[in-house]
Amino acid sequence: MEKVVFKKPKYMKEVPFHYCPGCGHSIIHRLVAEAIEELAIGEKTIGVPPAGCAVLAYDYFDVDMGEAPHGRGAAVATGIKRTLPDRIVFSYQGDGDIAAIGTAETIHAANRGENITVIFVNNNCYGMTGGQMAPTTLLDQNSTTTPGGRDKNRDGSPIDLSEMLAITRGAVYIERTAVNSVKNIRKTKKAITKAFKVQMAGLGFSLVEILSPCPTNWKMSPIDACRRIDEDVAQTFPLKVIKDETS
Amino acid sequence: MTIKTKKGRIAIDSKLCKGCYLCVSVCPDKLIAISGELNEKGYYPAEFTETNTGEDRKCTGCAMCAVICPDIAIEVYRG
Ligand SMILES: Cc1ncc(C[n+]2csc(CCOP(=O)(O)OP(=O)(O)O)c2C)c(N)n1
Ligand code: SF4
Ligand code: SF4
Ligand code: SF4
Ligand SMILES: [Mg+2]
């Protein structure tokens, strides 16, 4: 008998994604939805989408969702989790969102050890607004605000937000993964699942930073964007478990 | 030595596909190609070519194409 071995996960709606061809956001949405389904937490999960290309994530996830103002995902998730402590709460944030305008909220949520999960999608730019430099833009990377490439002396260096968050006492689990290959996509799903489990066990703050292709603003094909993650992005932001205090 | 492979099949929803080529690039058996006809979104969608390659290569249902597809346009069946 023929069996379905891969189909749309239960907690993704039958709505076509608006993302550009080859965008990592929708892969990451799917992995979050798969983890939610496998952990059987769909009826008690609340997601917090960002300002950014993923602003419409509530159109795609078939779980409760509550939009956050730009950068304030961790603060909004904190409020929801403290009000409804039996729910599983995740914020979904871009690199411009979490590492620029939302830095303060994120660091303090981590330091307080808020029992929430943050999905941090690092595509090295402000995607939605047209590809401006973000704090995570690589040195020498072209963007609309760093024509000719990001210059260390003029623009500063890329920020290692996940490593900074790992220093906080309340952060329990932080891993950096990528969605540029089948292998890395599978690893990312494991990391997201683990982050949710940390929250389910009440251990504290968990975050998965995911290196994600933005072919449109990187001005390259989806295949080249995946290659760039291995060749350039992961050289600046190495894929690894940054902190794990679960054992 | 015989290599045992489970036989598989995929279905691509050409309305959802954005022709990004990622599935084409990961299929170990090169069973996916980009079609020459635009879909309603204006992209050239991917199509499963196993039935019309005329060669002896078979989908194993490994699901690599579906795992990398950003638009959940591929369903995979095995058995
Ligand atoms: C308070 C506020 N300031 C600025 C903006 C404009 N804005 C919308 S999205 C965005 C940046 C998005 O970049 P990122 O968080 O990296 O998400 P991406 O689109 O790359 O996924 C900005 C600056 C806004 N919506 N709200
Ligand atoms: S601009 Fe970049 S991040 Fe935004 S949808 Fe397009 S590819 Fe994705
Ligand atoms: S399931 Fe595997 S073998 Fe079949 S088309 Fe997809 S990648 Fe190719
Ligand atoms: S990966 Fe998905 S969207 Fe991209 S070409 Fe293949 S079926 Fe189409
Ligand atoms: Mg971004």
DSSP state of B14: T
pLDDT digits (tens, 9 = 90+) for B34-46: 999 999 999 999 9
* B12's tokens: 């691509």
User: What is the ipTM for the molecules in this complex?
Assistant: 0.96
Residue to mutate among A6, A179, A183, with most B CBs inside 10 A, is: A6
Q: Report whether B76 contacts B66 (CB < 8 A).
A: yes
Boundaries of every domain in chain A: 25-237
Residue A53 gets which letter from DSSP? G
Which residues in chain B touch residue A222, judged by CB atoms under 8 angstroms apart?
20-22, 70
pLDDT at B5: 47
Residue A180 falls in which region: left (phi positive, over 0), alpha (psi -120 to 50) or beta: alpha
**Chain A positions touching chain B (beta carbons under 8 Å):** 1-8, 12, 16-17, 19-27, 30, 181-182, 185-186, 215, 221-223, 226
- The position carrying tokens 């994530």 is A57
Ligand 3 midpoint to CA A173 (Å): 34
Q: How does pLDDT run across B18-61, given as a tens digit for each residue? A: 999 999 999 999 999 999 999 999 999 999 998 755 556 589 99
pLDDT for B79? 85
Number of domains in chain B: 1
Is residue B27 domain-resident? yes
> Cβ of B77 and A3 within 8 Å?
yes
Contact B75 A6 (CB under 8 A): yes
Residue pointed to by tokens 């409804």 = A84
Cα–Cα distance for residue pair B38/B15, rounded to 1 Å: 10
B37: CATH: 3.30.70.20
Alpha-carbon gap, residue A34 to B35, rounded angstroms: 30
Q: Which residue of B has its CA nearest to A27?
A: B70
pLDDT values of chain A reduced to their tens digit, one per residue, 247 residues: 789 999 999 999 999 999 999 999 999 999 999 999 999 999 999 999 999 999 999 999 999 999 999 999 999 999 999 999 999 999 999 999 999 999 999 999 999 999 999 999 999 999 999 999 999 999 999 999 999 999 999 999 999 999 999 999 999 999 999 999 999 999 999 999 999 999 999 999 999 999 999 999 999 999 999 999 999 999 999 999 999 999 8
What phi and psi values does residue B11 have, to the nearest 5 degrees?
Answer: -125, 125
Top CATH class of A25-237 equals alpha beta
Q: Is residue B3 part of a domain?
A: no
Task: Determine the pLDDT at residue A247.
Answer: 84
Range of the domain at B61: 8-78
pLDDT exceeds 90 at position B2: no
Residue in A7, A26, A221 closest to B70 by CB: A26
Q: For B8, what's the count of Cα atoms within 13 Å in the CB-facing half-sphere?
A: 25
From the list A5, A21, A221, the residue facing B76 with the nearest CB is: A5
Distance (Å, whole) CA A132 – CA A123: 11
